[in-house]
Amino acid sequence: MSFTGFPVAALDFYDDLEMDNTRSFWEANKAVYDESVAAPMKALTDALQPEFGAAKAFRPYRDE
């Protein structure tokens, strides 16, 4: 997969997460995160790796 940007669903995910940062929200929306946030971020870091080296991305979850 090549990086083509982040979809609107990624921004919506973070807006919703700001309103409800609970485990139940995370579990219900993990597929959205994987597809709309994690996959594009992986493509971006892979594209930048030759110039900047390996990167790590952390998932935005706080256990309550």
Q: How does DSSP assign 15-55, residue by residue?
A: HHHHH--SHHHHHHHHHHHIIIIIHHHHHHHHHHHHHH---
pTM of the model: 0.84
Q: 1 near 44, Cβ under 8 Å? A: no
Q: Confidence class of residue 20 from pLDDT cuts 50, 70 and 90?
A: very high
Residue 62 pLDDT > 70:
no
Q: Which amino acid is at 1?
A: M
CA distance 51 to 35: 25
Q: What is the pLDDT of residue 16?
A: 96
Q: What is the pLDDT of residue 54?
A: 94
Beta carbons within 8 Å of 21's beta carbon, 6+ residues apart:
61, 62, 64
